[in-house]
A = this chain, B = another copy of it.
Amino acid sequence: MSTAKFYGIGVGVGDPEMLTLKAIRAFKELDVVVLPEAKKAEGSTAYEIAREYLKEGAETLFVEFPMLKSVEARKEFRKRNADMIVEHLKAGKKVGFLTIGDPMTYSTYVYILEYLDGVIPVETIPGISSFSDMSSRFNLPLVMGEESLKVVSLNGETDIVGEINSADNIVFMKVSRNFDKLRAGLEATGNLENIIMVSNCGKETQEINFDLTKMEEEDIPYFTTLILKKGGINQWKKFIS
């Protein structure tokens, strides 16, 4: 029997070639593969990426992190998921939590770490985050020289103009439900032309937009990210196809 260990493993956002050698080495060790999902039985992109490297007989464990309004209800789900994982660890198993993108960047993996005691060894293996994938895919620099970079997950309370004023380059995530306000903020600060907005990045349904003026909030897909480069974006368009 192997010795208990908990892994958080980033698998990138979809392209299996974004896996690191370290992730692949870890896959081969796992007794239990934990796959987070927002809805029950929605399937797992992370599993599709990892499956060819997993050892025969590795167990899969789907854990649900539903987007509930009640903080208490969300915590209850997290606790239940952590308990299931700890049970496997206490049985001496190697358990790996697979995460889209990077495990330390907006991942539910952290909600399991919160419940661990620090005695069972933990190894986190970084992955290519969604914004890093997107910037390389379009040959668009995220941040250069003495500039700053900010990553903002939009919600109803975000002070958009404040965020725009606070950095040289800003990645806005969760754009779909906040599109009108974001566009208004970009217009108010004279930044409408300094952006690229990408929906369903890397998928067959990928859409790239530089001009937001005629778009409607209701048409923006859920997986939409906008990058603002206050130094301008025109000089980089030559590489974006």
Contact = CB atoms under 8 A, between A and B. Distances in A.
A63 B142 CA distance: 22
A17 B125 CA distance: 10
Contacts of A19: 20-21
A18 interface: yes
* This protein's copies in its complex: 2
A151 B143 contact: yes
Interface string A142-153: 111111111111
Given A132-B102, A139-B122, A149 B147 contact: no
A65 to B, nearest CB: 11
Contact of A239 (B22, B122, B136, B235): B122
A215 interface: no
Contacts of A152: 148
Interface stretch (A103-111, A191-199, A206-214): A103-111
A146 B141 contact: no
Contact of A105 (B18, B146, B149, B166): B149
Interface residues of A, number: 60
Chain B CB count within 10 A is highest, among A129, A132, A135, for A132
Contacts of A145: 106, 153
A163 B148 CA distance: 10
Nearest to A108: B144
A68 to B, nearest CB: 13
Interface of A: 8, 10, 12, 15-22, 24-25, 102-106, 110, 113-114, 116-118, 122-129, 132-133, 135-137, 139-153, 155, 163, 166-167, 235-236, 238-239
9 contacts: A8-B139, A103-B136, A104-B132, A105-B132, A105-B142, A122-B239, A128-B128, A146-B155, A150-B166
